[in-house]
Amino acid sequence: MSESQTQSYKPASSGAKRVSPVFLWILLLVVAGGAFVAAFYWAGGISGVQSMLGLGSAQQSAQPASSAGAKASSVPSLPADAQALMYTQQLQSQPYIGQLGDGEITAMSVGTSAVSGDSAVVPVTVARKTQRLAKGTLLLKRYNGTWYFTGIKVNDDETMPTPSPSTVDASVVQVITQQQAQAPTQAVIRDGLLGGGHTKYTVNGVVNGAGTKTINVSMSGGSAPAENGRLVLIQKTDGADTYWFVARFEKQ
């Protein structure tokens, strides 16, 4: 066997250099990172990515209104007497809030509001399915520049019932103040109820949820264009008793 026949086999070079595996991993990470950045902006930032992944915030910060406009804030902190008033008057209004949630009230006409300091009363005429028209008053209070609905008194010559339970539920008051302080509700209260923007509210239906009732309404009359809105009630159970509280009122 000749010397040339005993030499080991060496493949011919193709002219291309071998690519390092480390380089391939780096290239893959760069491409993947670029794709994520593109998806991030396409989805609308972190909130869009959370939505795509089925994630999201379970809490909404209130938007209290002030003379300088609505500003992001935590839950408004009200004095103890203000919390007690809000809770007590809504408990005293249970017969009428309950009728609203049951669809018994079909419409409400609003008169000219009377504001005195940080208190306001709005005369109303309530139409019901099975009972005669009733005249009454919406009760509102202002704390730190923010208006809150505290109760409704129908037939002003009636004595408002003694509230039960008598102990203030701080968790209920917290939800009420947070929801009512939001800018959409403040706009409806200031411009609609107090400002005469809408003078007639017609109930279009009630949607029952988990511990909530949403009353869909048409708002018309007054100085503002006709619009649709919704009133949201929240539920409190105390043993065998159920109570409903007005949480917010906003345009749809």
In a domain, 1, yes or no: no
Both 167 and 118 in a single domain? yes
Domain boundary among 52, 72, 99: 52
In a domain, 74, yes or no: no
Q: Are 175 and 234 in contact (CB under 8 A)?
A: yes
**pLDDT for position 18:** 54
Both 43 and 113 in a single domain? no
Both 46 and 115 in a single domain? no
Three-class DSSP category at 67: coil
- Enumerate residues 6+ apart whose C-beta is below 8 A from 241: 164
Closest CA to 149 of 180, 111, 183: 180
User: Per DSSP, what are the bridge partners of residue 109?
Assistant: 125, 200
- Token pair 């007639």 is at which residue? 200
- Token pair 């609003």 is at which residue? 110
Both 25 and 92 in a single domain? no
Give the range of the structural domain holding residue 222, as residue numbers without chain letter: 80-251
Positions of E strands within 30-145 = 105-110, 114-116, 119-128, 134-143
In this structure, what token pair is assigned to residue 74?
């935590």
- Average pLDDT value over all residues in the chain: 77
Both 133 and 181 in a single domain? yes
pLDDT digits (tens, 9 = 90+) for 175-231: 999 999 999 999 999 999 999 999 999 999 999 999 999 999 999 999 999 999 999
Both 145 and 26 in a single domain? no
In a domain, 131, yes or no: yes
**How many domains does the chain contain in total?**
2
Both 123 and 238 in a single domain? yes
Both 119 and 242 in a single domain? yes
In a domain, 12, yes or no: no
Both 131 and 236 in a single domain? yes
* AA identity, residue 225: P
Both 144 and 84 in a single domain? yes
User: Per DSSP, what are the bridge partners of residue 105?
Assistant: 128
In a domain, 244, yes or no: yes
- Enumerate residues 6+ apart whose C-beta is below 8 A from 246: 90, 97, 149, 176, 180, 231, 232, 233
Both 162 and 207 in a single domain? yes
What's the whole-number mean pLDDT along residues 52-68?
29
In a domain, 10, yes or no: no
In a domain, 5, yes or no: no
**pLDDT for position 158:** 61
Both 126 and 212 in a single domain? yes
pLDDT digits (tens, 9 = 90+) for 125-182: 999 998 888 899 999 999 999 999 999 987 755 666 777 787 899 999 999 999 999 9
- Enumerate residues 6+ apart whose C-beta is below 8 A from 119: 140, 141, 142
For residue 128, report the phi and psi dihedrals to the nearest 5 degrees: -125, 160
In a domain, 225, yes or no: yes
Cα-atom radius of gyration of the chain, to the nearest Å? 31
